[in-house]
């Protein structure tokens, strides 16, 4: 699709991030040509949250949409609509443009690298 969405073989859509690539076999790579972590495959894409244009977005039913409410993730991390993230241990941080967090609390920076949190 020309808008950056990719249709997976199960029919669900995923929004590609700046610099991502797909080879002829359907393997996704980051802007440096490294294979994307399983975090970005469609099976775990549901519930993924991302700071985009200063707004918190999330994947729901294969579509990217604005977060509608604060979320508590499976590991106890809380993600606020403002982009503030509060870990289970009380540590707080603010999501920056392009950062992502999955439904299990795993975070990636804007370049797709896993972050320690």
Strand segments, DSSP code E, in 38-79 are 49-52, 55-60, 63-66, 71-72, 78-79
Residue 22: domain span: 5-115
Q: Residue range 9-29: average pLDDT?
A: 73
Q: How many domains does the chain have?
A: 1
At 82-117, the pLDDT tens digits run: 999 999 999 999 999 989 998 889 898 887 788 877
Instruction: List residues bridging with 100 in a β-sheet.
Output: 50, 108
Under the banding of pLDDT at 50, 70 and 90, the label for residue 35 is low
């Amino acid at each position: 699709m020309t808008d950056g969405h990719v249709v997976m073989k199960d029919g669900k859509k995923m929004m590609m991030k700046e610099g991502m690539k797909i080879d002829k076999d359907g393997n996704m790579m980051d802007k440096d040509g490294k294979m994307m972590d399983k975090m970005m495959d469609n099976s775990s894409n549901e519930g993924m949250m991302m700071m985009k244009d200063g707004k918190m977005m999330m994947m729901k039913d294969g579509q990217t949409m604005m977060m509608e409410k604060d979320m508590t993730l499976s590991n106890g991390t809380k993600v606020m609509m403002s982009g503030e993230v509060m870990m289970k241990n009380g540590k707080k941080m603010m999501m920056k443009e392009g950062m992502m967090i999955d439904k299990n609390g795993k975070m990636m920076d804007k370049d797709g690298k896993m972050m320690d949190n």
